[in-house]
Structure 1
């Protein structure tokens, strides 16, 4: 069987920046083990698979280790391919997902806006071994939703962290968001998720489902500008809108090809 495949750098306007995702359009679902093997072979943070269903698309995401419940950058990348390579002619795409409900992506020029669920994090105790695994720097606040979120005083604190990924992978949690007020933005973040086969995710839409409600409350405003300060770096324009978060970013196509299974 021959399938098309695309690779896109999301949340950036520069090749080799942002977060790379693979996109595989399907006419009908492959088995989950087949999709997992393709994701392993791609060896990217996420591979997205989608099928058309009337006026919407069904969408699933796989890391090299597992099928994940929510992914922002691969959703943006999928929308970018539908708009630019597959001739989707409306301004809004609706994606139905297994665990995150219906997600939409709206195009405005070269900017794509994702409409995702807000996932406010709540204060929690520090899991045993987490501070040592994250690099030894004590945060000023720790919260939890799907992922743990550590809040630091400065952007420099976030940039200086050098996690022990083997130790992080042993802690019973999905991932760890680290964040602080930004020097040239409202906030910055990094995201570590070795349990899913990704040591540091370059730019993470799902993490911003936690970050946006937190920083909107802290800063007293609903419109926010953010950078994820990984080595590849990503830029997001964010808005808290009730129980939803809007994340806007750009994308660049890197690869168009075929795979054989």
Structure 2
């Protein structure tokens, strides 16, 4: 017997279709087996597909799948999931709580129409012995970074936005580094900081359009440097994305808009 599943495609961290980062969102009545979830993510062929099941009033279990497997946190797909619930399924609600592999994640409507996500801070560490890795980075990038931080990602700090915008890295050199992504960042001209995010091991799209979870590492770095708790940010991918970050203790509040591109049904 065929099963019909609703699907939404939402562009996150933008208010314009074809910008930001696209994610597929599939609300479920109950969980499908993991192989089916994975096959849906493969078929969608987007960076992430989010699935959620309602567990109580205003509470959902949320999972994220890339085409090559499940991941433990995804900012833009969480924003997309919150948008589907708060603007499509339950527009009367102002808040939703997700249970996830990264713990509880709260998403709230803001007065300006954006959504605020409450995420854990990643607390990146300044690399204490960067000389060896700088040899690798000198081959991968045309410029040596001013500072290097590590979390789940490798974060390279530069001096100017123009350097970030014009960077053309040799990603093959980065494939053997023990980090999820390589992030380059600098102070912004019209915002507090800018960034770009690369996944050298991604099978297709090796530059991520907008990466909410990376800002859980970037926001603490720039908060310390700029002596500010609230920061504005732009990810300078081809699609571009805009974020507002606020430091609240060991949590990071990420705010951004989202826009619906597609809704329909999956038939399996």
TM-score using structure 2 length? 0.92
Aligned residue number for residue 72 of structure 1:
75
Aligned residue number for residue 86 of structure 1:
89
Q: State the aligned residue count.
A: 260
Paired residues of 2:126 and 2:148 also in contact (CA < 8 A): yes
Q: Which moved more, 1:4-13 or 1:135-144?
A: 135-144
Aligned residue number for residue 163 of structure 2:
157
Paired residues of 1:203 and 1:228 also in contact (CA < 8 A): yes
Paired residues of 1:148 and 1:173 also in contact (CA < 8 A): yes
Aligned residue number for residue 10 of structure 1:
12
Aligned residue number for residue 112 of structure 1:
115
Report the Cα offset of residue 173 of structure 1: 1.8
Report the Cα offset of residue 210 of structure 1: 0.2
Report the Cα offset of residue 54 of structure 1: 1.0
Paired residues of 1:129 and 1:171 also in contact (CA < 8 A): no
Paired residues of 2:86 and 2:95 also in contact (CA < 8 A): no
Report the Cα offset of residue 92 of structure 1: 0.9
Paired residues of 1:134 and 1:161 also in contact (CA < 8 A): no
TM superposition outliers: structure 1 runs of 4+ over 6 Å: none
* 1:238 counterpart SS class: strand
RMSD between aligned residues: 1.6
Once residues 53 and 22 of structure 1 are traced to their aligned partners in structure 2, the CA distance between those partners, rounded to angstroms, is: 21
Match of 1:210 among 217, 239, 245: 217
Q: Tell me if 1:60 matches 2:63.
A: yes
Report the Cα offset of residue 88 of structure 1: 4.6
Q: Per-residue CA shift, 1:83-107, capped at 9, x if unaligned?
A: 2221253211100002x10001110
In structure 1, runs of 5+ residues without a counterpart are none
Q: Relative to 1, partners in 2 of residues 1:209 and 1:173: Cα closer, same or farther, differing over 3 Å?
A: same
Paired residues of 1:21 and 1:77 also in contact (CA < 8 A): yes
Once residues 66 and 133 of structure 1 are traced to their aligned partners in structure 2, the CA distance between those partners, rounded to angstroms, is: 30
Q: Which moved more, 1:108-117 or 1:191-200?
A: 191-200
Paired residues of 1:174 and 1:196 also in contact (CA < 8 A): no
CA radius of gyration, larger in? 2
Match of 1:173 among 156, 169, 179: 179
* 1:157 counterpart SS class: helix
Q: Per-residue CA shift, 1:204-253, capped at 9, x if unaligned?
A: 11000001111000000101111111110111111001000111110100
Paired residues of 1:133 and 1:165 also in contact (CA < 8 A): no
Once residues 14 and 135 of structure 2 are traced to their aligned partners in structure 1, the CA distance between those partners, rounded to angstroms, is: 34
In structure 2, runs of 5+ residues without a counterpart are none
Once residues 237 and 49 of structure 1 are traced to their aligned partners in structure 2, the CA distance between those partners, rounded to angstroms, is: 25
Paired residues of 1:130 and 1:171 also in contact (CA < 8 A): no
Aligned residue number for residue 142 of structure 2:
136
